Amino acid sequence: MSLELDPVDWTVSRVPVEYADGVRTMTERAQHIARGLTPEFVWLLEHPPLYTAGTSTKVDDLRNPLHFPLHQTGRGGRVTYHGPGQRIAYVMLDLKQRGGDVRSFVHALESWLIDTLATLGVKGETRPGRVGIWVRRPEKDACAEDKIAAIGLRVSNWVTLHGVSLNVAPNLAHYDGIVPCGITEHGVTSLADLRSPAPMEVVDNALRDAFERHFGATRSVDDPLASTLSTFPISSGARP
């Protein structure tokens, strides 16, 4: 990149964030970024158990949605699950400053997740025609692969919204109510399911270190829901 970018604001919510609150906060922050009023932002969080339906969702993707709420969302992709034990990263970056290439940006997100998983002892891979990060499961079958991380984006005014999710230790049975991301021939896994458990704080540190290698420096800020939605804190301190 020819431009030297300012550090990206980075925060972690330590309690589950209601989906509507998360989307509202993310959307408002992205609008501020697009107008040059506030720095780029990555927000790590968990949601209560729920399903989100992307813009490509089909009726058949809902097998038996249990008792979890279903939220329509503006991101790309089909239906997926979010819940406790899954680390979600809302990624609000200004693509105008980062080359303006959405395809390259998605590739960078994939590399970020793969590097994070490598730090945690798991080999993640991409597959042509399948979005997200996959792991081989030879103990199941020679050709078996499961999805461990998902990517779902929307771009508005050249600022990205939504982002990625990484399965740390969610209840995988909660995926049974849907066809995750429209894929029926492969399963879903997690770090815990792969017997590579890691505390969420360790996962967060791995995500941050890998993010900085791919996207640049970060700086810690307060949880946006700890203050008013119209005033976003800007840190003056270094990364702890």
| pLDDT over threshold 90, residue 2 | no
pLDDT of residue 235: 34
Q: Which helix (H) or strand (E) covers residue 117, if one does?
A: helix 102-119
Residue 143 a catalytic site member: no
**Per-residue model confidence as pLDDT tens digits over 73-83:** 878 777 889 99
CATH, range 8-226: 3.30.930.10
Of 8, 17, 93, 181, which is the active-site residue? 181
Q: Provide the β-strand partners of residue 92.
A: 41
Residue 41 has pLDDT above 90, yes or no: yes
Q: Of 69-73, 90-94, 102-106, 171-175, where does mean pLDDT reach its minimum?
A: 69-73
Tell me if the pTM is above 0.75: yes
Measured in degrees and rounded to the nearest 5, phi and psi for residue 207 equal: -60, -45
Please give the share of the chain, as a percent, with pLDDT higher than 70.
89
Is residue 120 pLDDT above 90, yes or no? Answer: yes
